[in-house]
Every structure is written in C-alpha cells, then in structure tokens.
Amino acid sequence: MSYDVTVDEADDAQLSRAVAMETGRLLLEIRDSFGEIEHGDRERATRLRHTADREAHIHIQSRLSAARPHDAILSEEGDDDLERLHADRVWIVDPLDGTWEYGQQRADFAVHIALWTRTDGRDGTLSAATVDVPAHGQTWSVADEVPPLAQLPTDRPIRMVTSRTRAPETLPEMLEQMTNLLGPSAPFGVQAVGVGSVGAKAGEVFAGNAEVYLHVGGFNEWDLAAPLAVALARGIVCLPVVGDGFAFNRADPYQPGVIMAIAPIADIVREAFPALWPRP
C-alpha cells in the first residue's frame, strides 16, 4: 500500500488523516478480497471481521509507531499497556468502528484516530483527530476548513441519529419532548434515524444530514475520542450524558455517552435531556 504522507514530515493532524484513510482503503480491500458472503454464512463473516480488525490495528500501530515512536497507543484491538497513563501523548484509535456492520456488507463503519496530549489541566486535550467512513468516501478531520455553523432545516424533519440496533427505550418520549420545545422551529417534527458505528453516526451530523446524535448506552474512549474532537472543531455542541465534561486516557476506558447537536438546537437538547435521563 502506498502512503499519502511521509511520516517524518507529517504534522500530527496530517498523519492522523493519512493513516485513517489508508486504513479505510485497507478495510475495503479486505472485504472485497472475501467476495460475496452468503446470507447465514456466519463462519465466513466472522472470519472477515476478525481479519479486518487485526489487519487494521496492525497497520495503524505500525504507522503511528514508526512516525511517533515515543507516543503511546490505546487501541480497541491492542493489549492495553497502562504505562500510557504516564505518557504525555497517547493515540486513541478504533481500527474498525462498526465491525458488525462491516461484516454485514454495510457502509456505516469507520476508522477513528485521535491524539490525547497531557496538559496542565486534569484531563488533557484531544487533537489530530480523524473519522474516516471509507464506504461513503467521506473523511472528517480537525484539519478541515471549519464550515459555517449549520442551521435547522426548513424542508424536512429535524433528525436525531441513534443506534440502529440499541436505540434508547425513552426515545419516543424524547422526540415528542423536543418537538414540543421546538414548536414552530420544527414544522415537520423530529425524526429518529438509525445508523451503525459511532463514526458513521457523527458523520451524519458533520455532513448536514442530521442535527443531533444521541448515545446514552455507554461505549469506550476509542469509540468517542475522534468523533468528539472533530465535532468540537466544527462548532458542534457536545454534551456528556453524565457529569460535567469528557476525560480521556483513564485506566478504565469506559465513556457513559454523548449528545452532539448543532448550535441552533443545543439549548433545546439541554432542556429536553434532563427530563428523560436525570443526571446524578
């Protein structure tokens, strides 16, 4: 595979983008090499998923380790070396976000790469983030030119992206609550849209296809870090579902969830959210 960036010349954001896109192409090549998998052939689909997870992880680890040999890496598919807790720079990566969708020949899977850097503050900062959705040919990066702030649509429902398989039980109530709060600002109401991976869900907001992304079921740092950093760089309001903020490079990588919303609807989301999931 040819590389897009010479590793000793790349800045962190360029490196992140290049490696994510390389990995996305690799995932498509692996899936193509397996050919069509018959419905019900679970053994072959499982082998495809395992192969893709492994090869994507190896590629990212190899590229980042060569380019930034002193940085730590936290990867969903790697062994978690807790020495990273003492590192000043940690790459947080999900080599294949949406492995299930990938194995189903769906397009809503992604590659996540983000850099956590220790700061004087308690929680550090995220940077150099990329979300690549290769089957859609879309790549979102903190290095992108910041687009104008998105506005509420006037010709369709406001869309809230949620899990296509594990939508919150209270979702109907939240849609109704948001519709009531928005009033004339939402003449077509609020509609839920089910999407697979976290990166693909966030990508629907980045692309202007949806205005809110809701995730309250919990996930891990590698699921959230890159989408969160890209969202914040694009002026999208990001709300934790528990507590007052987001923290990364913790011993336990669990993250309780997130709500991403374009700015014009953020206050409505803040008002609707506590009514359904009160914070402790």
- DSSP string over 213-272: EEE-S-EEHHHHHHHHHHHHHTT-EEEESSSSS---S-SS-EE--EEEE-HHHHHHHHHH
Closest CA to 119 of 91, 88, 90, 142: 88
Please report, for the chain, the start and end positions of each structural domain, with discontinuous segments joined by +: 12-141, 158-276
- Report pTM: 0.92
Q: Is the pLDDT of residue 148 over 70?
A: yes
Question: CA-CA distance, 130 to 194, in Å (whole number)?
Answer: 22
Q: Is the pLDDT of residue 175 over 50?
A: yes
Average pLDDT, the chain: 90
Least confident stretch, 27-31, 109-113, 132-136, 160-164:
160-164
Residue 278: pLDDT band by 50, 70, 90 thresholds? Answer: very low
Q: Does domain 158-276 have CATH number 3.40.50.300?
A: no
pLDDT digit string, tens, across residues 23-40: 999 999 999 999 988 888
> For 12-141, which CATH class?
alpha beta
Question: CA-CA distance, 274 to 257, in Å (whole number)?
Answer: 14
pLDDT of residue 29: 98
pLDDT digit string, tens, across residues 199-215: 999 999 999 999 999 99
